[in-house]
């Protein structure tokens, strides 16, 4: 006879086995449609502006376009926009009649898709669907070990792209830093594109430094895509155009680059980045008015060249610390500005983008956490389609931190869980489980079928964040958050590979000066 003591697991063994099973369940990848968070969750429940206030901002923006207009458009832009109905005054400024703006809004692209090289990373920009990614043009990299800043390099950009590719809650990569180790501007644009595409197959955003660089860079893009026709079918790179120099002036060189990108089939971000109290009015509402007016001029510009070309309404007004005049990207005012801009995008029914997640802190510390948290969660709850600069950016856009990408992935997971909101269904509000637990059951819900069923689909768990008890934390040798982030960064980069095929990579290196 077999001794029952040897075959019946102890209570402690059963508990351990249950914990092991739950850990295995948490480690198993979930299907995309049942993950607790995922790209494109719909926000829009937070509205800092009333309907009447949205309409008032719209009317003020139209008035600004009719009365003030914009100066310094390039000749090609003047020709296209005046042909469409803009009026150039004796002072050289282009003014935009209300009817022209309304006509061009009717022609503007809506419900657009920003493609990834891998279709699973496609971003559908419609309604209040939200997506979070990087952006910016930091000139320094943050060294968290020495707590110093150094010039950012092409290798840093490549590493950032590889990290973004492996961090699920960061949905796209817009170039977050400048390759300052490359003195030639054309080579810098080439290596920026190469580094981003070699690191990730998610959607990539870039920004050309000179319009004459676009043609050569498009040759590189066509090689990566497998030909111009395949590129035009699924353009996986967009160009960030600071097409205006606030207040109310076109940026001639950037506008010409934008025109080249439109003809090349590249989606564009119409970026208006005034700074409230400096290059934009100090009142938050009027800063939004100016940004909206400038971006409406961009809508006229794009659609006078190619009606329906994919363009993102990029109202990016920033905030000043009015004590010093310095930018304050992590402030509550910035969070409100971005959320208000998201409402304006929805008013026009246009795909929109704005900045969130910028930290004024120099390091990934508590200040960075609260600044990134408040600005990102308000952007998401407001339903911003494209939230740029959401993670990694420090010192008010001057410094980029690779470890912050890893930390920010956890933060964006929590943000997106807030965006998803509370699921109220017949099943979720049923009291059947309550009856079973309270009326003859164990008196808790820890082991109920409902709890186990929802633990992965209803709840999101941090990957580097620490939820240990003080006792567990001490027994684990008191792990520090930054140390954990460094370890995860290094583990990702150790396994990451170049995502451009060897054959294509060889051709690219024969034709371009690739330094990575």
pLDDT of residue 3: 45
pLDDT of residue 7: 41
Average pLDDT over residues 351-358: 97
User: Given a cut of 80, is residue 23 above it in pLDDT?
Assistant: no
pLDDT of residue 25: 59
Backbone torsions φ then ψ of 418, nearest 5 degrees: -65, -40
DSSP 121: G
385 and 131 Cβ atoms separated by less than 8 Å? yes
How far is it, in rounded angstroms, from Cα 308 to Cα 118? 24
Q: What 3-state DSSP class applies to 354?
A: strand
pLDDT of residue 33: 76
How far is it, in rounded angstroms, from Cα 112 to Cα 134? 20
Backbone torsions φ then ψ of 300, nearest 5 degrees: -60, -45
How far is it, in rounded angstroms, from Cα 436 to Cα 446? 13
Please enumerate in sequence order all residues whose Cβ is within 8 A of that of 97, keeping only pairs 6 or more positions apart, or say none: 66, 85, 86, 87
User: Given a cut of 50, is residue 18 above it in pLDDT?
Assistant: yes
Note the pLDDT tens digit of each residue in 218-240: 999 999 999 999 999 999 999 99
Q: What 3-state DSSP class applies to 511?
A: helix
pLDDT of residue 461: 94
Go through the chain and tell me how many residues it has. Answer: 516
Please enumerate in sequence order all residues whose Cβ is within 8 A of that of 269, keeping only pairs 6 or more positions apart, or say none: 205, 238, 239, 240, 241, 311, 312, 314, 353, 386
| Domains of the chain from N-terminus onward | 105-421+504-511 (3.20.20.480)
| More confidently predicted of 376 and 326 | 376
pLDDT of residue 4: 42
Backbone torsions φ then ψ of 479, nearest 5 degrees: -60, 135
User: Given a cut of 90, is residue 348 above it in pLDDT?
Assistant: yes
Percentage of the chain exceeding pLDDT 90: 86
Note the pLDDT tens digit of each residue in 285-295: 999 999 999 99
Q: For residue 389, give the nearest of 353, 357, 347, 430 by alpha carbon.
A: 357
- Look up tokens 């009817």; give the residue: 99
- Look up tokens 């990373």; give the residue: 121
pLDDT of residue 168: 97
247 and 253 Cβ atoms separated by less than 8 Å? no
Average pLDDT over residues 493-509: 98
How high is the mean pLDDT of the chain?
Answer: 94
Percentage of the chain exceeding pLDDT 70: 94
197 and 162 Cβ atoms separated by less than 8 Å? no
| More confidently predicted of 452 and 203 | 203
Note the pLDDT tens digit of each residue in 403-438: 999 999 999 999 999 999 999 988 888 899 899 999
DSSP 340: H
How far is it, in rounded angstroms, from Cα 59 to Cα 61? 5
| More confidently predicted of 28 and 359 | 359
Note the pLDDT tens digit of each residue in 244-266: 999 999 999 999 999 999 999 99
User: Given a cut of 90, is residue 270 above it in pLDDT?
Assistant: yes
Residues facing 419 on adjacent strands: none
23 and 16 Cβ atoms separated by less than 8 Å? no
Note the pLDDT tens digit of each residue in 430-472: 899 899 999 988 999 898 888 888 888 899 999 999 999 999 9
Note the pLDDT tens digit of each residue in 118-135: 999 999 999 999 999 999
The answer to whether the Cα torsion of 352, 242, 179, 485 is positive or negative is negative
DSSP E strands in 309-410: the ranges are 311-315, 318-321, 326-327, 353-355, 386-388, 393-394, 399-400
Most confident residue range from 11-20, 210-219, 324-333: 210-219
User: Given a cut of 80, is residue 139 above it in pLDDT?
Assistant: yes
Average pLDDT over residues 43-52: 97
pLDDT of residue 356: 96
Could you tell me where the DSSP H helices lie in 28-140? Answer: 51-67, 75-84, 98-107
How far is it, in rounded angstroms, from Cα 325 to Cα 486? 34
How far is it, in rounded angstroms, from Cα 435 to Cα 446? 15
514 and 496 Cβ atoms separated by less than 8 Å? no
Q: What share of the chain is helix, strand, coil (3-state, %, to 5)?
A: 45, 15, 40
pLDDT of residue 35: 87
Average pLDDT over residues 175-186: 97
pLDDT of residue 439: 93
Residue 27 pLDDT grade (very low, low, confident, very high; cuts 50, 70, 90): low
Note the pLDDT tens digit of each residue in 297-315: 999 999 999 999 999 999 9
pLDDT of residue 375: 97
Q: For residue 448, give the nearest of 438, 457, 460 by alpha carbon.
A: 438
| Pair of tokens at residue 472 | 């567990």
User: Given a cut of 90, is residue 213 above it in pLDDT?
Assistant: yes
List C-alpha distances in Å: 225 to 112, 187, 206, 218, 257: 20, 20, 16, 10, 21
Average pLDDT over residues 10-30: 59
pLDDT of residue 428: 86
């Amino acid at each position: 006879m077999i001794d029952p003591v040897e075959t019946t697991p102890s209570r402690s063994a059963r508990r351990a086995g249950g914990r092991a099973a739950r850990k295995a369940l948490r480690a198993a990848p979930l299907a995309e449609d049942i993950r607790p968070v995922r790209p494109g969750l719909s926000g829009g429940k937070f509205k800092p502006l009333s309907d009447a206030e949205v309409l008032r901002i719209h009317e003020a923006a139209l008035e600004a376009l009719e009365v003030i207009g914009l100066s310094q458009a390039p000749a090609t832009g003047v020709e296209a926009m005046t042909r469409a109905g803009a009026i150039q005054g004796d002072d050289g400024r282009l003014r935009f009649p209300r009817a022209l703006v309304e006509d061009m809004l009717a022609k503007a692209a809506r419900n657009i898709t920003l493609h990834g090289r891998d279709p699973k990373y496609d971003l559908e920009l419609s309604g209040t669907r939200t997506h979070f990614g990087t952006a910016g043009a930091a000139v320094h990299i943050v060294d968290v070990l020495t707590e110093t800043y150094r010039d950012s390099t092409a290798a840093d950009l490549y590493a950032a792209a590889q990290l973004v590719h492996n961090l699920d809650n960061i949905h796209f990569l817009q170039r977050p830093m400048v390759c300052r180790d490359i003195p030639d501007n054309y080579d810098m644009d080439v290596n920026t594109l190469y580094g981003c595409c070699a690191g990730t197959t998610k959607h990539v955003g870039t920004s050309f430094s000179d319009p004459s660089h676009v043609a050569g860079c498009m040759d590189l893009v066509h090689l990566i895509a497998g030909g111009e026709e395949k590129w035009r079918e699924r353009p996986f790179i967009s160009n960030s155009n600071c097409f205006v120099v606030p207040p109310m002036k076109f940026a001639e060189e950037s506008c010409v680059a934008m025109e080249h990108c439109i003809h090349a089939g590249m989606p564009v971000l119409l970026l208006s980045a005034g700074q409230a109290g400096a290059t934009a009015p100090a009142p938050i509402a009027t800063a939004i008015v100016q940004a909206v007016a400038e971006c409406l001029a961009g809508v006229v510009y794009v659609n006078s060249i190619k009606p329906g070309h994919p363009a993102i309404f990029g109202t990016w007004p920033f905030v000043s610390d009015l004590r010093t005049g310095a930018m304050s990207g992590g402030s509550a005012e910035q969070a409100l500005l971005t959320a208000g801009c998201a409402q304006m995008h929805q008013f026009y029914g246009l795909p929109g983008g704005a900045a969130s997640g910028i930290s004024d802190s120099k390091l990934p510390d508590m200040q960075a956490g609260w600044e990134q948290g408040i600005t990102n969660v308000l952007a998401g709850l407001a339903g911003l389609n494209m939230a740029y600069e959401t993670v990694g950016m420090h010192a008010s856009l001057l410094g980029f931190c690779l470890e912050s990408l890893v930390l920010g992935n956890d933060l964006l997971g929590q943000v997106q869980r807030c965006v998803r909101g509370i699921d109220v269904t017949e099943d979720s509000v049923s009291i059947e489980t309550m009856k079973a637990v309270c009326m003859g059951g164990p008196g808790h819900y820890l082991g109920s079928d409902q709890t186990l069923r929802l633990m992965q689909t209803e709840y999101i768990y941090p990957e580097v964040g620490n939820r240990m008890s003080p006792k567990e934390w001490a027994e684990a040798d008191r792990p520090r958050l930054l140390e954990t982030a460094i370890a995860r960064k290094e583990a990702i980069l150790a396994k990451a590979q170049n995502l451009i095929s060897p054959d294509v990579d060889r051709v690219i290196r024969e034709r371009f000066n690739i330094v990575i």
